[in-house]
A and B are shown apart, each in its own frame.
Chain A
């Protein structure tokens, strides 16, 4: 018996009960489509984040207090020394390959101008953050250079903050009350949007010492370091750790994150997320498989007499088995292809609506879900097919 004849015979059987056939195909389609769509979104999220971090520049290093692994929790009591402004100064003086050093401290405070007020995130830093994060000014200038310890009480606003507190008025030269202190507005930063989990448009920049005083801190949130070139990153990492370790009584208690390490950490997390989404969606494929099994069982019991006839005219048990397996596989494969088409269409629509989000189906998810849909037909068709193959010809002819 040729494969073509087998397919044709199975197809006539499926056409015999169209609604059931369509419903079980729909079941598989939904399963395959959801696997592909969900993993596409996960993959899109990964690409989006990867892209964000790539924007940072590959010669950027974050010095973070505490010895932590990028994928694990810090052990208890691991932060033995705070990261201080003096550490940042030491790095600038003692590691020549460092181009810029920007200390960073963060806090929440209430900002008030006239009768307008809102809670804001305040970043305490120095003039060099502008270079490190490539900030562009919409108006005025960025934080002044010079001795950070003697920095004036000035602030630079994110564009969103500026428009909320000052509306259309010019904020430059105005006095903004942050917490209990007054800061003179000297600049507004160009709209930039979210970057590495921080909304730069909703941030107020003040000199680092002023921020530490405002929040009563002595420690830095982190130090941003820009290295001359990507090739020097590894060397500079070692030098930074050496300097800090020396300053911290021989204890290596900082973590250095480079773009690569952050990227790979996020990549791992988001890949895991994508896999989890795919796994959940694959469950629906299994449910569709149960649907196919149900349809095939009904079909076998409806066609008992036909199976008896097939046996009487000399169709072997193996051929009966194959016939029903092919039927089930047609259901699941058609469902798979249809689901694939629907998923691609859905992703097209999605990327049309949200062009910034790079949703695209991962190849492994497409191949995997299509392969899974075919094997589901065989897997869940096996029990009904075996039942058909094992029917006793005399009993089956009598419809029992």
Chain B
């Protein structure tokens, strides 16, 4: 359950304040499937960063599963990200020197998950994204669609509550894009809250709820 109340985010560019987000109120119930659309500079990425606890709002309240996370320090925020949030990026963000399995394992290593447990979970999620056979391949030996599926496997391996996808198909061809969206939707069907940021209407229209941002505010919120 995500609750935003009067969220604003102000950057200072060259000494002048820029209002990236302005007084946003938003509630996303657990298990929802939401797309966030809007033109460049409308505040989509800023909203996603705030939702993902990568960034803190200038003002306003953000409750994640009932806990106010808007004023947590770096350490607390990283723990929230570790346990509650999964990220899927446009450019995959796989570590190039590590194999698919090692990339998936990465969050668990730093979270202190036991080795045996890690191996088991890596197998499970790679199986879930259909990449069991590619586990030993490095990212440069994988296609774009496969890379994004590895990234999705990594994003869910810590069993988060919320999956945040930033233009997940932006670097993919149509076919693999569709596969990736189907995979994300299957994660949502399994209970994860899914928020997809995109400016591709075809992808955005898939979502059960479509939010359109304009100039840092919510312009449209269609159920």
Contacts and interface: CB of A to CB of B under 8 A. Distances in A.
Interface of A: 1-2, 5, 9, 12-13, 15-16, 305-306, 308-319, 393-394, 397
Contacts of A9: 109
Contact of B54 (A2, A16, A311): A311
B18 interface: no
B98 interface: yes
A397 B87 CA distance: 11
B79 A317 contact: no
Contacts of B102: 12
Given A12-B98, A317-B75, A318-B75, A312 B52 contact: yes
Interface stretch (B35-43, B89-97, B125-133, B193-201): B89-97
B109 A314 contact: no
B158 A314 contact: yes
Closest 6 CB pairs of A and B: A314-B82, A313-B107, A314-B81, A315-B110, A309-B93, A16-B97
B54 A313 contact: no
A314 B75 contact: no
A27 to B, nearest CB: 23
B55 A394 contact: yes
A2 B96 CA distance: 23
A317 B78 contact: yes
B111 interface: yes
Contacts of B158: 313-314
B168 to A, nearest CB: 14
B148 to A, nearest CB: 14
Contact of B110 (A15, A314, A393): A314
Contacts of A16: 96-97
Contacts of A397: 54, 89, 93
Contacts of B54: 311-312, 393-394, 397
Contacts of A319: 110
Contact of A305 (B55, B85, B93): B93
Contact of B87 (A5, A12, A313, A317): A313
Contacts of A1: 109-112
Contacts, number: 72
A356 B49 CA distance: 72
A149 B107 CA distance: 97
B135 interface: no
Nearest to A303: B95
Nearest to A311: B78
A317 B97 contact: no
Contacts of A12: 97-98, 102
B78 A314 contact: yes
Contact of B111 (A308, A309, A314, A394): A314
Contacts of A317: 74-75, 78
Interface in B52-92: 52, 54-55, 74-75, 78-83, 85, 87, 89
Contact of B97 (A15, A310, A311): A15
Given A13-B97, A306-B95, A394-B55, A313 B106 contact: yes
Interface of B: 49, 52, 54-55, 74-75, 78-83, 85, 87, 89, 93, 95-98, 102, 106-107, 109-112, 115, 154, 158
Contact of A316 (B75, B95, B96): B75
A316 B97 contact: no
A312 B75 contact: no
A308 B75 CA distance: 14
B82 A313 contact: yes
A270 B180 CA distance: 74
Nearest to B157: A313
B109 A5 contact: yes
Contacts of A315: 78, 82, 107, 110
A323 to B, nearest CB: 9
B101 to A, nearest CB: 13
30 contacts: A1-B111, A2-B112, A5-B109, A12-B102, A13-B97, A15-B97, A16-B96, A305-B93, A309-B93, A310-B106, A310-B110, A311-B54, A312-B81, A312-B93, A313-B82, A313-B107, A313-B158, A314-B78, A314-B82, A314-B83, A314-B110, A314-B111, A314-B158, A315-B78, A315-B82, A315-B107, A317-B74, A393-B55, A394-B54, A397-B89
Contacts of A393: 54-55
A393 B97 CA distance: 21
Contacts of B109: 1, 5, 9
Contacts of B97: 12-13, 15-16
A398 B192 CA distance: 26
B106 A316 contact: no
A15 B99 CA distance: 14
A187 B93 CA distance: 91
Given A309-B93, A312-B93, A314-B82, 9 more contacts: A1-B112, A2-B112, A12-B102, A13-B97, A306-B95, A314-B81, A314-B107, A315-B78, A393-B54
A5 B87 CA distance: 23
Given A393-B54, A394-B49, A394-B55, A309 B95 contact: yes
